[in-house]
């Protein structure tokens, strides 16, 4: 969009939620063809617009919920101003006033103020909390943890409201360790969306998770101690519930106050009244999302909000778009419980028929609503098994290809195969994407063909919001690719046609033990820098031999080749293992002496150990001789293998610790040290819920609970950070280790090359639930095998550096030159900075004296020469290796 | 090329197939590679992309019929015979004539200074 000039039209959006985000995207999408708008979005919260539908994930995961591509907000002509609350509008003067007094002019004003959570007018209500914003969720997470520590027992949480949000809040708080009770005025849960049969099935599933239900009643008072601490909730039916924390989730109230004050028309039950074109009663003022009342009704769902945003953007550009009506289909998954409803779920259409399968004992309920002739689909409800939802949903209002009963999968029916969806069917209702648009993108009709799911989602935006249509998007992708004769290649490289996991299994089953044997069977050519390290890693995991012997030396990647980490100048860094970050002063001294004697740059790593930089290839054995003699072993910082197990100080010293995190960290680090895997992996152990070890940023995070250990998996820092997700709770030591054994071995067997655990478990068919089934329930029957493989690794482990130093033939690999084995690389030039050596930059190399062939300066002598630029001294201890072969 | 141009570096027995070695010739560094078919390659040890002397520590491989060496730092791949960079047109890796006389590996550096 253009920078401001006289013809620029100023659009101000009040509110920074999903509707505002979608509106801004829609404006940006039109900017190329139609510049001349400047959009200013005033967000009340201090965040960029985020995905409110996904708040329940943050309850368990503290993940980043920011919507869409952040670069949207850096585009020219678009400004996002967070934490700016609008206090008044003046429709005549066309201005909006912001808290603090600043006044903005507008040509078009868009209300996207959303709604606030309602709180019932009962005594003590001010002691309750709501579940509406990121701050609300973060507070609830912290509060449940705080109460657990303060009360020395799980917190009792009462959630008022048994609708969609209330269920999410109760489920999330339960998983965080609270004891949840849901109070709901209806006779069954989600009574606005579900019929009685479905509501009862749902109630049974929710109760099975340990969540208590108080149905058909309302709270009458929040009971507090004289000091103001919440003690319980009194109910209208005379009962009392114990409570330490009360959360209200009884509905939403549109934030229409500014519009009311300005005299705009308001709907009969609140909300800014708009027409099909999203315009309010005042020209130039629009309303979208939850604050907008269409036909007198406000809706708290994403799909209608997105549709309104598109309509408003189109209209502001002079278009003719009309709001197509409310799509209130919902699907949620509450710790494994699937609930979905769409269309005329309650069968209010005249003469409609309900085809039902109900099995209250198993918590299953499926209902399909059709017209009187049983042909046209009107709606449906699914509880416990929502498998048919994805394929039925797009057929709403159309003739079903088969008998309605054929879609009741819980009754054992199988929907007819081959029934392809017509192109004009809406696939993703959140973003209004049709089946045809997705097909066209796969084929590449207009642009480059999208042949993988990620690209297809990015390009069409299908499945990027609530995600419920992703399975269908994936299916269309596969179908179209198959039609086009495209086979998705999983080959490692030009030499190996198998994927890493296929290769791993083939090598394991055939018990192949060498590169040559593997290449003879599955490869061609000499291999390359992609397949050779993969094969080296597979052989290392399966055969546990010294990684540079038996022809495997030449397979190793840069770092493994030297058992050290190559730096930019060709020197190496050395990292001794410091299990759990625990180290004696004596051992610290040895590291200090090595660093001083070999003039190594010293830095503390993020994994609670010490990195020594600037060691030349031929120095590595001498350095490790000292370290191994002092009881150190390789830290495998160079390997695609276990790095560190980070720990907090644990219950030994800490006032808050509930378990011995350090002892557990050391035990785990010693167990998994040296284990080769598809990528590096890290563990963390925290001794209490305060999580000082930041364990959830690790591939495997272990957090102490009062009862044992909670196991989290799939965390990752780096380029794509991810918080580890809960796999199992309150484990004893033995079960914890068994689960980690299984998890790691399953990962090692099935992950792609360089795929970290986070991406692996995300892309694995069935996701985390599948991993949990394999690890905790042994659903594949391979648990014993996985544990045996890990036992073999643990039994065969040997320190790679001790093994190297024992064998002169292995030491040969650490010569600097084949014809001058102990001569330093003359091209390595270092300078001193902040009292330590570092590689010289190109512009410093000319003035620094290179580390020549015959300049064995003794330590201290260098200081006599240059001051700032000092030549690296070759320590006397470093030249003990004898010259010659 | 006269016999004076050939510099002896090491014994052929010092080389393990596919395991690169660096050699020092005057102030210059050569990377030596012995392939499984017995052929020898000598290239500059200097990584053209970074200027560090590390090529001998890269992974030997093949691309189609060509034998290759990948820089251990950023994995640019070079044709061992011609020095052509197969992953970027910006770089060229100097190559040197190499031979074995009486079990001794020799290179001629004057050729490609």
Query: How does pLDDT run across A40-55, given as a tens digit for each residue?
Result: 999 998 888 888 777 7
d(C-alpha B74, C-alpha B58), whole Å: 10
Domains A9-115+254-316 and A125-250 share a fold: yes
Asked if B57's CB is within 8 angstroms of A566's CB, the reply is yes
8 Å CB contact of A553 and B16: yes
More confidently predicted of A806 and A863 = A806
Residue of A nearest to B77 (CA): A529
Helical (H) or strand (E) element with B20 = none
pLDDT band at A463 (very low <50, low <70, confident <90, very high): confident
Topology given in CATH for the domain delimited by B3-108: Rieske Iron-sulfur Protein (2.102.10)
A658: which strand partners?
none
Which pLDDT does position A540 carry in this prediction?
92
Position A763 scores a pLDDT of 78
CATH topology of domain A125-250: FAD/NAD(P)-binding domain (3.50.50)
Give A345-401 pLDDT, tens digit per residue: 888 888 889 999 888 777 889 999 999 888 899 999 998 888 788 778 878 888 887
**Domain A641-798 falls in which CATH fold?**
Sulfite Reductase Hemoprotein; domain 1 (3.30.413)
Please give the DSSP secondary-structure letter assigned to residue A256.
-
Q: Does residue A511 sit in helix, strand or coil?
A: coil
Question: Among A566, A816, A817, whose Cβ lies nearest the Cβ of B73?
Answer: A566
Evaluate the CA torsion angle A262, A268, A272, A273 in order and state its sign: negative
Cβ–Cβ of B29/A827 closer than 8 Å? yes
Tell me if A526 and B60 make a contact (CB, 8 A cut-off): yes
Band of pLDDT at residue A848, cut at 50, 70 and 90: low
**Terminal alpha carbon distance of chain A:** 71
> Hey, which residues does A610 pair with through a beta bridge?
A604
Question: What's the average model confidence in pLDDT over A92-105?
Answer: 93
Closest CA relative to residue A25, chosen from A306, A276, A290: A306
C-alpha to C-alpha distance for A7 and A107, rounded to whole angstroms = 11
The DSSP code for A634 is B
Who wins on pLDDT, A811 or A334? A811
Determine whether the interchain pair B10/A528 forms a contact, defined as Cβ–Cβ distance below 8 Å. no
The average pLDDT across A776-780 equals: 90
pLDDT tier at A300, thresholds 50, 70, 90:
confident
pLDDT band at residue A602, thresholds of 50, 70 and 90? very high
Q: Is A428 helix (H, G, I), strand (E, B) or coil?
A: strand
Mutate to test the interface with B, among A493, A495, A529, A854 (most CBs of B within 10 A): A529
Kindly provide the ipTM of the predicted complex, given to two decimals.
Answer: 0.95
Contact list, A842 vs chain B (CB under 8 Å): 51
Distance CA A23, CA A68 (A): 12
Chain A: residue whose CA lies nearest to B34: A554
Q: Of B16, B29, B59, which has the smallest distance from its Cβ to A532's Cβ?
A: B59
Contact status, residue A723 vs residue A62, Cβ threshold 8 Å: yes
A14, A257 Cβ separation under 8 angstroms: no
pLDDT value of position A468: 66
Of residues A228, A227, A222, A226, the one with CA closest to residue A242: A222
User: Are B103 and B11 within 8 A, CB to CB?
Assistant: yes
Contact A819 B53 (CB under 8 A): no
* pLDDT value for A786: 95
Query: Mean pLDDT, chain A, as a whole number?
Result: 87
Report whether pLDDT(A852) > 60.
no
Contact list, B53 vs chain A (CB under 8 Å)? 570, 825, 827-828
Rounded to whole angstroms, the Cα distance separating A545 from A484 reads: 46
- The residues near A629 (Cβ < 8 Å, ≥ 6 apart) are none
A732/A861: higher pLDDT: A732
Rounded distance between C-alpha atoms, residue A488 and residue A611, angstroms: 42
Q: How far apart are CA A334 and CA A337, in angstroms?
A: 5
Instruction: Tell me which chain A residues have a C-beta less than 8 angstroms from the C-beta of B67.
Output: 526
Q: In this model, does residue A878 exceed pLDDT 50?
A: no
Pairing of strands A377-383, A337-343: antiparallel
A residues 225-254 lying closer than 8 A (beta carbon) to B: none
DSSP character at residue A160: E
pLDDT of residue A880: 35
Give per-residue pLDDT as tens, A477-527. Answer: 878 887 777 666 678 888 998 889 889 988 988 889 999 999 999 999 999
- How big is chain B, counted in residues? 113
The predicted pLDDT at position A863 comes to 39
pLDDT at A77 over 50: yes
| pLDDT score at B69 | 97
The burial class, CB within 10 Å (0-12 / 13-18 / 19+), for A872 is buried
Per-residue pLDDT tens digits for A784-795? 999 999 999 999
Name the residue in chain A with its Cα closest to that of B15: A818
Provide the pLDDT for residue A92.
Answer: 93
Give per-residue pLDDT as tens, B19-46.
Answer: 999 999 988 999 999 999 999 999 999 9
Query: What pLDDT was estimated at residue A417?
Result: 45
Which fold, A9-115+254-316? FAD/NAD(P)-binding domain (3.50.50)
* Residue ranges of domains in chain A: 9-115+254-316, 125-250, 338-416, 500-556, 557-634+799-885, 641-798
Give the DSSP H/E element, type plus range, for residue A301: none
Q: What is the DSSP string of A527-553?
A: --TTHHHHHHHHHHHHH---TTTTTTG
With a cut of 50, say whether residue A876 has pLDDT above it.
no
pLDDT digits (tens, 9 = 90+) for A716-751: 887 667 899 999 999 999 999 999 999 999 999 999
Task: Using the predicted structure, report yes or no on whether residue A875 has a pLDDT greater than 80.
Answer: no
Per CB-CB distance under 8 Å, the chain A contacts of B62 are 495, 525-528
| A242: confidence class by pLDDT, cuts 50, 70, 90 | very high
In whole angstroms, give the CA distance from residue A884 to residue B8.
15
Q: How many CA atoms, within 13 angstroms, populate the side-chain half-sphere of residue A757? A: 33
The pLDDT mean for chain B works out to 92
A402 versus A552: which is more confidently predicted?
A552
Q: Which residues of A are annotated as a binding site?
A: 648, 654, 688, 692
- Residues A331, A877: Cα–Cα separation, whole Å: 69
Cα distance between residue A823 and residue A191, in whole Å: 81
Our CA angle for B21, B26, B30, nearest 5°, is 25
What is the SS3 string spanning A17-50?
A: CHHHHHHHHHHHHHHCCCCCEEEEEECCCCCCCE
Mean pLDDT to the nearest integer, A93-113: 94
Q: pLDDT tens for residues B86-107?
A: 988 889 999 999 999 999 999 9
Is any Cβ of chain A less than 8 angstroms from the Cβ of B49? no
Q: Identify the residue with better confidence: A417 or A162.
A: A162
* pLDDT at residue A54, as a whole number: 74
Rounded distance between C-alpha atoms, residue A660 and residue A649, angstroms: 8
Q: Nearest Cα to A294, choosing from A319, A318, A269, A331?
A: A269
CATH number of A338-416: 3.30.390
Beta-carbon contacts of residue A670 (< 8 Å; ≥ 6 apart): A579
A667-678 average pLDDT score: 96
Q: Please answer whether residues A174 and A210 qualify as being in contact, where contact means their C-beta atoms are separated by less than 8 angstroms.
A: yes
- Residue A453: pLDDT band by 50, 70, 90 thresholds? confident
Mean pLDDT of A167-180: 88
Per-residue pLDDT, averaged over A208-217, amounts to 92
**pLDDT tens-digit series, residues A256-293:** 999 999 999 999 989 999 999 999 999 999 999 999 99
| Chain B 67-106, residues with CB within 8 Å of chain A CB atoms | 67-68, 70, 72-73, 75, 77
Residues 6+ apart with CB under 8 A from A109: A11, A12, A14, A89, A91, A94, A96, A284, A285, A286
Give the total residue count for chain A. 885
Mutate to test the interface with A, among B22, B28, B37, B87 (most CBs of A within 10 A): B22
CA distance A326 to A30: 25
Domain ranges within chain B, ordered by starting residue: 3-108
Using the beta-carbon criterion (under 8 Å), do A529 and B57 form an inter-chain contact?
no
Banded pLDDT at A806 (limits 50, 70, 90)? very high
How does DSSP classify residue A107? S
Q: Do B73 and A558 touch (CB under 8 A)?
A: yes
Short-list A399, A392, A394, A397, CA closest to A374? A399
Q: Where is A774: in which H helix or E strand? A: helix A767-776
Our CA dihedral for A542, A547, A548, A553, rounded to 10 degrees, sits at 60
């Amino acid at each position: 969009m253009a920078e401001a000039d006289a013809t620029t039209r100023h659009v101000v959006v009040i509110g920074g939620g999903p509707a505002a985000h979608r509106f801004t995207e829609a404006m940006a999408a039109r900017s190329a063809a139609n510049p001349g708008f400047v959009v200013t979005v005033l967000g009340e919260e201090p965040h960029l617009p985020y995905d409110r539908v996904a708040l329940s994930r943050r309850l368990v995961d503290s993940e980043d919920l920011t919507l869409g591509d952040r670069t949207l907000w850096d585009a020219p002509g678009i400004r996002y101003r967070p934490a700016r609350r609008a206090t008044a509008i003046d429709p005549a003067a066309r201005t909006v006033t912001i808290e603090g007094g600043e006044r903005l002019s507008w040509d078009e004003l868009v209300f996207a103020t959303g709604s606030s959570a309602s709180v019932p007018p009962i005594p003590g209500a001010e002691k309750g909390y709501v579940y509406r914003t990121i701050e609300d969720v973060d507070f609830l997470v912290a509060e449940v943890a705080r109460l657990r520590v303060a009360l020395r027992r799980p917190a009792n949480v009462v959630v008022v409201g048994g609708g969609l949000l209330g269920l999410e809040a109760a489920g999330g708080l339960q998983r965080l360790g609270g004891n949840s009770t849901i109070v709901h005025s209806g006779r069954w849960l989600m009574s606005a969306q579900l019929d009685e049969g479905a509501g009862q099935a749902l109630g049974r599933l929710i109760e099975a998770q340990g969540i208590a239900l108080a149905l058909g009643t309302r709270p009458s008072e929040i009971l507090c101690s004289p000091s103001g601490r919440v003690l319980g909730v009194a109910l209208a039916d005379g009962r009392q519930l114990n409570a330490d924390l009360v959360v209200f989730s009884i509905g939403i109230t549109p934030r229409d106050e500014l519009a009311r004050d300005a005299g705009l028309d308001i709907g009969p039950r609140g909300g800014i009244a708009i027409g099909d074109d999203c315009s309010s009663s005042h020209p130039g003022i629009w309303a979208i999302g939850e604050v907008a009342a269409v036909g007198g009704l406000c809706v708290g769902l994403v799909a209608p909000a997105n549709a309104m945003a598109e309509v408003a953007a189109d209209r502001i550009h002079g278009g003719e778009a009309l709001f197509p009506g409310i799509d209130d289909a919902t699907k949620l998954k509450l710790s494994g419980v699937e609930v979905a409803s769409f269309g005329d779920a309650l069968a209010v259409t005249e003469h409609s028929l309900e085809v039902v399968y109900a099995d209250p004992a198993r918590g299953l309920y499926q209902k399909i609503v059709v017209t009187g002739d049983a042909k046209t689909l009107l709606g449906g409800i699914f509880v416990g098994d929502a498998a048919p939802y994805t394929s039925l949903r797009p057929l709403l209002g159309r003739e079903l290809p088969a008998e309605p009963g054929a879609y009741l999968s819980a009754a054992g029916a199988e929907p007819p195969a081959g029934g392809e969806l017509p192109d004009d069917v809406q696939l993703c209702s959140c973003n209004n994407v049709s089946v045809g648009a997705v097909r066209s993108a796969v084929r590449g009709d207009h642009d480059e063909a999208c042949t993988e799911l990620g690209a297809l989602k990015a390009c069409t935006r299908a499945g990027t919001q609530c995600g419920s249509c992703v399975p269908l998007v994936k299916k269309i992708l596969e179908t179209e690719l198959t039609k086009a004769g495209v086979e998705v290649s999983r080959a490692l490289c030009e030499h190996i046609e198998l994927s890493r996991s296929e290769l791993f299994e083939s090598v394991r089953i055939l018990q192949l033990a060498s590169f040559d044997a593997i290449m003879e069977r599955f490869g061609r050519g000499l291999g390359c820098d992609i397949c050779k390290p993969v094969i080296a890693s597979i052989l290392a995991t399966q055969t546990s031999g010294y990684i540079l012997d038996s022809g495997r030396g030449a397979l190793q990647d840069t770092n493994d080749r030297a058992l050290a980490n190559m730096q930019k100048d060709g020197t190496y860094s050395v990292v001794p293992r410091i299990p759990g970050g625990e180290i004696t002063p004596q051992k610290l001294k040895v590291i200090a002496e090595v660093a001083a004697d070999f003039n190594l740059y010293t830095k503390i790593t993020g994994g609670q150990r010490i990195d020594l930089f600037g060691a030349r290839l031929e120095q590595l054995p001498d350095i490790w001789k000292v370290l191994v003699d002092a009881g150190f072993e390789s830290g495998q910082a160079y390997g695609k293998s276990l790095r560190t197990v980070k720990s907090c100080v644990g219950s030994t010293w800490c006032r808050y610790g509930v378990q011995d995190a350090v002892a557990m960290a050391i035990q785990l680090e010693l167990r998994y040290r040296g284990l080769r895997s598809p990528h590096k992996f890290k563990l963390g152990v925290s001794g209490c819920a305060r999580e000082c070890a930041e364990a959830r940023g690790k591939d495997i995070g272990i957090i102490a609970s009062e009862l044992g250990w909670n196991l989290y998996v799939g965390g990752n820092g780096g380029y794509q950070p991810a918080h580890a997700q809960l796999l199992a709770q309150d484990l004893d030591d033995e079960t914890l280790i068994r689960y980690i054994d299984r998890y790691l071995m399953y990962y090692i067997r099935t992950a792609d090359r360089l795929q970290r655990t986070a991406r692996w478990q995300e892309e694995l068919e069935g996701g985390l639930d599948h991993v949990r089934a394999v690890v905790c329930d042994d659903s594949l029957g391979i648990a014993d095998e996985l544990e045996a493989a890990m036992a073999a690794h643990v039994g065969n482990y040997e320190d790679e550096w001790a093994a190297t130093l024992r064998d002169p033939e292995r030491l040969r690999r650490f010569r600097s030159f084949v014809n001058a084995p102990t001569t330093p690389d003359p091209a390595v030039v270092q300078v001193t900075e902040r009292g330590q050596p570092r590689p010289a930059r190109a512009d410093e190399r000319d003035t620094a004296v290179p580390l020549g062939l015959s300049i064995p300066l003794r330590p201290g002598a260098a200081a006599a020469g240059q001051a700032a630029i000092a030549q690296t001294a070759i320590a006397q201890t470093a030249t003990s290796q004898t010259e010659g072969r | 090329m006269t016999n004076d141009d050939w510099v002896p570096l090491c014994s052929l027995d010092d080389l393990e197939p596919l395991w690169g070695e660096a050699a020092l010739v005057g102030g210059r560094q050569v990377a030596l590679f012995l392939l499984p078919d017995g052929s020898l390659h000598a290239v500059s040890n200097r990584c053209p992309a970074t200027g560090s002397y590390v090529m001998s520590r890269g992974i030997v491989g093949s691309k189609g019929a060509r034998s290759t060496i990948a820089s251990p730092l950023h994995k640019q791949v070079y044709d061992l015979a011609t020095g052509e960079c197969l992953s970027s047109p910006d770089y060229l890796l100097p190559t040197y004539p190499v031979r074995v006389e009486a079990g001794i590996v020799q290179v001629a550096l004057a050729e490609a200074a």
